[in-house]
Structure 1
Amino acid sequence: MTSTVEAVARLGTWAAGLRWSDVPDTVRDRLGLVLLDSLGVTVVGARQAEQRALVAAWRPGPGPAPLVGAGATTTVEAAAWLNANAMARLELDEGHKYAKGHPAAHALPAVLALAADLGASGPETMSALLAAYEVAARFGRATTLRTGAHPHGSWGVAGAAAGCARLLGLPGEGVAAAIDAGAGLPVAGHFASALDGNPVRDAWLGAANVSGLAAARMAAAGVARNTGTPSLSLGDVLGRFEPAPLTDGLGTRWDVQLGYFKRHASCSFTHPAADAALLMRADGLTLDAIEGVLVETHSLAGGLGRTSWDSRLAALFSTPFVVAAALVHGTVDPAVSADDQRDDPRVRALAAKVVLRVAPDLDARLPDERAARVTVRTLGGPPKVIEVPNPVGDAAYHPMTEGDVLALLGRLLDPDAVRAVHEVAAGLAGTTDVGPDLRRLAEI
């Protein structure tokens, strides 16, 4: 317990002392790219009918924080909750294989909403975003959830708390108290909810952002304490917690540089198989000749083998659907999982031929590789085999540049929207008050 208290204290001191002027240029650039991607996919999510209905049902009151892409501003907490939902709506949000989840989606909506309210400067906002990401990713590394638990809404709350506390100008002990309180507010979500297509999975991210805000406000009021809560909540209750990863390489290893961007609107565990399927399609694979498809993967992805789905989210967590969609349509953009495309008879028929298995040799490569090996049996020909070590977009395998992210957003948004998101993301660090620029995002 003492080691957890000490690690959180050190992490809080580091986050409180973080200055944008001291951050290496490569790290600044990567955070800017994460911000660009995150804002862009939030706009895409905000334009979905399900998200518009959610906003309408929420009836958000007036306030200073933008509902990104939704045409309104609202209170800090409402913006944090709804923007986090929009960001995760289509499974396009940035992730991190070592954290085993999504640091940005757990924390960036809360920090940006609070920054808009406070009228924070660009450098202060970027420092808070970076602190939030790094703390969340380190908590993801430190936490091993119980089998069946979904990572949304658990370890990432600490990141939201750290970023918001940093933005509120709290000293090291205050940031540490916020982190500890945030770690005591996790969601205990089951992975089956995602497989079943239950959107409560998106709400877990909204809860994480709002809980991070609450933890930071508790610390600002002096009613939060650093007592080693992560070892109890994330450890004893939800799994196992090791404090050492919280401070390993602190200030020298930047986790924001090790994440991945998603070019497919689906669970990241399906991406290597989708990439392999697209390579086969480009090589002239004839769909009518396919007799069967074997997808071998690692154990983290072993539960995504369902060949039926009754909603968009369920389809996005089905490797057979994603592989079939990639082969039929040549893309796994959001359009292929929309109501008018999801039940395409060609996709249904091909998905029924896909079998998912865990391969020990691929499992042994975790966490550095999240590999997939796809074997397609065809009529009258030898099997076709393609193995992919990591999805395209991983920092260690075909990383995406700013041009790649802009091209991705260009497929999903109109040019004016892409231009506006790019201008806000690129210019935020240089502003004296981020509020006006962030509120511009509401009108995209």
Structure 2
Amino acid sequence: MRQREVRAAVDRLGAWVAGLRWADVPAGPRERLGLVLLDVLGVTALGAREPEQRRLVEAWTPGPGPAPLVGAGCTTMVEAAAWLNATALVRLELDEGHKRAKGHPAAHAFPAVLALAAERDASGPDTLAALLAAYEVGARFGRATRLRPGTHPHGNWGVTGAAAGCARLLGLDAGATAGAIDAGSGMPIAGHFASALDGNRVRDAWMGSANVSGLAAARMAAAGLARSTGTAAGSLGELLGELDPAELDADPGSRWEVEGGYVKRHASCSFTHAAVDAALELRGRLDGEVEEVLVETHSLAAGLDRRTWTGPLAAMFSVPFTVATALRRGRMDPAALSAEALADPATAALAARVTVRAAPDLDARLPAERPARVTVRSVAGTVTAEAPNPVGDADHHPFTTQTLPTLLADLLGGSEPVDAIQAVCAALPGLPAVGDALRGLAGLKEDRSCVSTP
């Protein structure tokens, strides 16, 4: 029974994606998609600068092709671009997400859709429709899926979004698009959350795999090799967790998931953000040496309580590190993840005095809120601050077309790359072919270029 329900929902989603036209999309989701795209491209360009990412590109030796490596100075083949851009996008934990989907719909799909759009020289409206379809399908699968405890959300339910967006770019009909989504739902990664806590960069690879798997699913459907059978009922609904079919095709075209996401201002797991925001609020009220910090939060974040870290990724998933960094430095930005900052003995000493625990009153506010309450005791007294959601959430001080460019310019060290991305985003709706504009994004770089095979 459940497999039939899933199949019927996927069939309806396939029909909606195949019929989606950018001209029919209301102004609200159009504007929000533009904001998400600006953020995705800016964060990808920032991630491309990281030494780890540069070494990955060099080890990959990507051959020449039509798709850009954003911010890396070259173009390459579609699958290589999809994988490498996806890993750059999540490299610094700054990628956009969706709290009700419990993960990152855009990061699962946008690198694949943009790489394929560049290869096909798709029109701007078709590219935007494909990006929107990818987000909407991926977010619905995220909402519908309840992963088993300990499962990381990278690389599983989000493959469906990449498959849907790529199917839309390939111009597949309703049945073939449903087949692509179904095939994507059958290619999930079963990654353990402990990998992120341990600082294991395989976590980034799960996102690269999701994008490439979505491309593969769409190509399978284009070849007539994929069909809708309700595969997600077994893969996501049994092996990896539970699946609610009613959420899969809930009100497409009237409830726009893209409007409910969050943009991140801290280079760390989103579960740490409310605590970091509260710590930053308290920073100006502290007087004297900090003796103890208590972070009360929801159960999703309570497990991020490690007081030691093996590298940048592990630090980004540590509430003690991120809160201690916020209190000491006043920012939780990429500079806080440098080798020098990670080895700072004062930060380590303060993190050792941070206690993290779940609070029932805060847990009860899930999923509408992801709150945190931070209490700092110093020699001068005790102060407390609470945040209902991270700054940047759609429900709490969201970033806008006016404020997001300022944030990205601060992260990227200037407005020039942000201006270039904004120009591409603004031009897309009117472009008959997007290839050259997208390939220009490879030039959002410092004085370097990636290795490519002759």
Name the amino acid aligned to 1:304.
Answer: L
C-alpha distance in structure 2 between counterparts of 1:434 and 1:196, whole Å: 40
Aligned residue number for residue 399 of structure 1: 398
Matched, 1:285 2:286: yes
SS at match of 1:402: coil
Aligned residue number for residue 6 of structure 2: 4
Equivalent residues in 2 for 1:180-329, closer than 5 Å: 180-282=182-284, 284-286=285-287, 288-329=288-329
Per the TM alignment, residue 415 of structure 1 is displaced from its structure 2 partner at its CA by 2.5
State percent identity of aligned pairs.
65
Which string of whole-angstrom CA distances, capped at 9 and with x for unpartnered residues, describes residues 238-265 of structure 1?
A: 0111111011222110000000000000
C-alpha distance in structure 2 between counterparts of 1:404 and 1:343, whole Å: 33
C-alpha distance in structure 1 between counterparts of 2:354 and 2:253, whole Å: 45
Q: Which moved more, 1:418-427 or 1:227-236?
A: 418-427
Could you say what the CA RMSD is over the residues aligned between the two structures, in angstroms? 0.8
Per the TM alignment, residue 289 of structure 1 is displaced from its structure 2 partner at its CA by 2.3
Per the TM alignment, residue 419 of structure 1 is displaced from its structure 2 partner at its CA by 1.4
Which string of whole-angstrom CA distances, capped at 9 and with x for unpartnered residues, describes residues 374-401 of structure 1?
A: 11112142x2111110000000011111
C-alpha distance in structure 2 between counterparts of 1:113 and 1:367, whole Å: 33
Per the TM alignment, residue 291 of structure 1 is displaced from its structure 2 partner at its CA by 1.0
Name the amino acid aligned to 1:314.
Answer: A
C-alpha distance in structure 1 between counterparts of 2:428 and 2:437, whole Å: 7
Aligned residue number for residue 450 of structure 2: none
Matched, 1:132 2:131: no
| Runs of 4 or more above 3 Å deviation | none
SS at match of 2:339: coil
Per the TM alignment, residue 337 of structure 1 is displaced from its structure 2 partner at its CA by 1.1
Matched, 1:439 2:433: no
TM-score (normalizing by structure 2): 0.96
SS at match of 2:150: coil
SS at match of 2:341: coil
Matched, 1:412 2:411: yes
C-alpha distance in structure 2 between counterparts of 1:245 and 1:312, whole Å: 35
C-alpha distance in structure 2 between counterparts of 1:208 and 1:379, whole Å: 50
**Out of 16, 19, 35, which is 1:17 matched to?**
19
Aligned residue number for residue 339 of structure 1: 339
Matched, 1:44 2:46: yes
Structure 1 stretches of 5 or more lacking a match? none
C-alpha distance in structure 1 between counterparts of 2:393 and 2:159, whole Å: 24
SS at match of 2:340: coil
Which string of whole-angstrom CA distances, capped at 9 and with x for unpartnered residues, describes residues 182-208 of structure 1?
A: 000000000000000011000000000
Aligned residue number for residue 33 of structure 1: 35
Which string of whole-angstrom CA distances, capped at 9 and with x for unpartnered residues, describes residues 241-294 of structure 1?
A: 111101122211000000000000000000000000110113x313x4211000
Name the amino acid aligned to 2:286.
Answer: L
SS at match of 1:144: strand
Name the amino acid aligned to 1:183.
Answer: S
Name the amino acid aligned to 2:87.
Answer: N
Matched, 1:84 2:83: no
C-alpha distance in structure 2 between counterparts of 1:218 and 1:58, whole Å: 25
SS at match of 1:350: helix
C-alpha distance in structure 2 between counterparts of 1:320 and 1:338, whole Å: 17
Per the TM alignment, residue 57 of structure 1 is displaced from its structure 2 partner at its CA by 0.1
C-alpha distance in structure 2 between counterparts of 1:406 and 1:342, whole Å: 28
SS at match of 1:45: helix
C-alpha distance in structure 1 between counterparts of 2:45 and 2:344, whole Å: 27
Which string of whole-angstrom CA distances, capped at 9 and with x for unpartnered residues, describes residues 22-73 of structure 1?
A: 0001110000000000000000000011000000000111100000000110
C-alpha distance in structure 1 between counterparts of 2:418 and 2:399, whole Å: 17
Per the TM alignment, residue 426 of structure 1 is displaced from its structure 2 partner at its CA by 2.0
Structure 2 stretches of 5 or more lacking a match? 445-454
Per the TM alignment, residue 338 of structure 1 is displaced from its structure 2 partner at its CA by 1.2
TM-score (normalizing by structure 1): 0.98
| Count of paired positions | 441
C-alpha distance in structure 2 between counterparts of 1:206 and 1:49, whole Å: 18
Per the TM alignment, residue 403 of structure 1 is displaced from its structure 2 partner at its CA by 2.1
C-alpha distance in structure 1 between counterparts of 2:50 and 2:137, whole Å: 31
Aligned residue number for residue 452 of structure 2: none
C-alpha distance in structure 2 between counterparts of 1:360 and 1:422, whole Å: 43
SS at match of 2:357: strand
Per the TM alignment, residue 402 of structure 1 is displaced from its structure 2 partner at its CA by 1.6
SS at match of 2:252: coil
SS at match of 2:403: helix
SS at match of 1:373: strand
Aligned residue number for residue 178 of structure 1: 180
C-alpha distance in structure 1 between counterparts of 2:340 and 2:431, whole Å: 43
